[in-house]
């Protein structure tokens, strides 16, 4: 049996096209502990005054993301970005169907924008195209 190995050659002296910095992005999903207890955990001894985990912020800065999409994944199907703005004690709690939980909206649109600034990444806000409407999407601008 022959064991051939693939080889890749990079010609750093030849440019085909510029690479968009948006290629080096990620997304934040309310799955598991990504957001709550991951990015945002006000009860953690590692949390800053905003509730962001400083160790997580440092690790994400080291990754050098250029853009972060929010919300990512299945969470978007039930998320209304307006639920995540304004004073936290006035935000609605909603049944979250994708993860079968209650979403408190303590990490929402406002916190996402602060989070992006903290890791030096541009925010990319997602909109619901299947169950949302154009007015809700346009209001993000």
Can you read off the two tokens belonging to residue 119? 């890791």
Residue 38: pLDDT over 90: yes
Q: pLDDT band for position 32 (50/70/90)?
A: confident
Nearest of 114, 130, 96 to residue 39 by alpha carbon:
114
Residue 8 has a pLDDT of 85
Whether 15 is in a domain gets the answer no
Whether 7 is in a domain gets the answer no
Whether 118 is in a domain gets the answer yes
Sequence-distant (6+) residues with CB within 8 A of 2 are: none
pLDDT digits (tens, 9 = 90+) for 87-135: 999 999 999 887 788 999 999 999 999 999 999 999 998 877 666 677 7
Q: Say how many CA atoms lie within 13 Å of 60 toward its Cβ.
A: 25
pLDDT digits (tens, 9 = 90+) for 53-95: 999 999 999 999 999 999 877 888 888 888 999 999 999 999 9
Whether 126 is in a domain gets the answer yes
DSSP conformation class of 127: -
Whether 103 is in a domain gets the answer yes
Q: Which domain holds residue 61?
A: 21-138
Whether 8 is in a domain gets the answer no
Can you read off the two tokens belonging to residue 134? 């154009």
**120, burial (CB in 10 Å: exposed 0-12, middle 13-18, buried 19+):** exposed
Residue 132 has a pLDDT of 66
Can you read off the two tokens belonging to residue 130? 């299947």
Whether 2 is in a domain gets the answer no
The tally of domains found in the chain comes to 1
């Amino acid at each position: 049996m022959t064991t051939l190995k693939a080889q890749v050659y990079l010609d750093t002296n030849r440019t085909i096209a510029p690479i968009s910095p948006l290629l080096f992005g990620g997304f934040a999903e309310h799955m598991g502990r990504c957001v709550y207890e991951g990015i945002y955990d006000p009860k953690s001894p590692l949390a800053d005054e905003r509730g962001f985990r400083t160790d997580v912020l440092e690790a994400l800065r080291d990754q050098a993301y250029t853009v972060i999409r929010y919300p990512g994944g299945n969470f978007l199907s039930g998320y209304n970005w307006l639920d995540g703005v304004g004073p936290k004690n006035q935000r609605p709690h909603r049944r979250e169907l994708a993860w079968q939980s209650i979403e408190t909206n303590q990490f929402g649109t406002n916190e996402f924008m602060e989070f992006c600034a903290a890791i030096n990444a541009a925010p990319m806000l997602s909109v619901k195209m299947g169950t949302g409407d154009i007015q809700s999407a346009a209001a993000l601008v």
